[in-house]
Amino acid sequence: MSVMKRVSLIFKAKANKALDRMEDPRETLDYSYQQQLEMLTKVRRGVADVATSRKRVELQMNQLQQETGKREDQARKALASGREDLAREALQRKGSLQTQMNELQTQYAQLQDQEEKLTIAAQRLQSKVDAFRTRKETIKATYTAAEAQTRINEAFSGISEEMSDVGLAIQRAEDKTAQMQARAGAIDELLASGALEDNVSGRTDDIQAELDRMNTSSDIELELAKMKGELTSAAEPPKEIESNGANGEAKPTQAAQSEQQGEGS
Amino acid sequence: MIVRILGEGQYHLDDSAQDKLGPLDAELGAAVDRGDNTAFQAALDGALALVRAGAPVPAETIEPSDLILPREGASLDEVRKLLAEDGIILS
Query: B84: closest CA among A62, A13, A84, A213?
Result: A13
Give the ipTM: 0.88
Digit-coded pLDDT (tens) for A8-46: 988 888 888 878 877 777 778 888 899 999 999 999 999
Cβ contact (<8 Å) for A158 and B67? no
Q: Where are the domains of chain A?
A: 3-161, 202-235
**Greater model confidence, A245 or A100:** A100
Chain B residues lying within 8 Å of A127, measured CB to CB: 58-60
Mark yes or no for CB contact B62/A131 under 8 Å: yes
Among A85, A72, A161, which residue's Cα sits nearest to residue A121?
A161
Give the closest-approach CA distance of B57 to chain A in angstroms.
11
- For A198-256, how does the pLDDT look when each residue is reduced to its tens digit (9 = 90+)? 444 455 578 888 888 888 788 888 888 888 888 888 776 655 555 554 444 444 445 44
- φ/ψ region of A194 (left if φ > 0, alpha if ψ in -120 to 50, else beta) reads left
The answer to whether the CB atoms of A164 and B47 lie below 8 A apart is no
Phi, psi of A203 (to 5 degrees): -75, 140
A61-65, A222-226, A255-259, B19-23: the lowest-pLDDT one: A255-259
Chain B residues near residue A39 by CB distance under 8 angstroms: 91
**Spatial distance between the Cα atoms of A158 and A160, rounded to a whole number of angstroms:** 5
Nearest to A130 among B25, B60, B69 (CB): B60
Q: Is CATH 1.10.3120 the classification given to domain A3-161?
A: no
DSSP string for A79-137? HHTT-HHHHHHHHHHHHHHHHHHHHHHHHHHHHHHHHHHHHHHHHHHHHHHHHHHHHHH
- With an 8 Å Cβ cutoff, the interface of chain B facing chain A consists of 3-4, 6-7, 9, 21-22, 25-26, 28-29, 32, 47, 58-71, 79, 82-83, 85, 88-91
Kindly report the nearest CA distance between residue A54 and chain B, in angstroms: 20
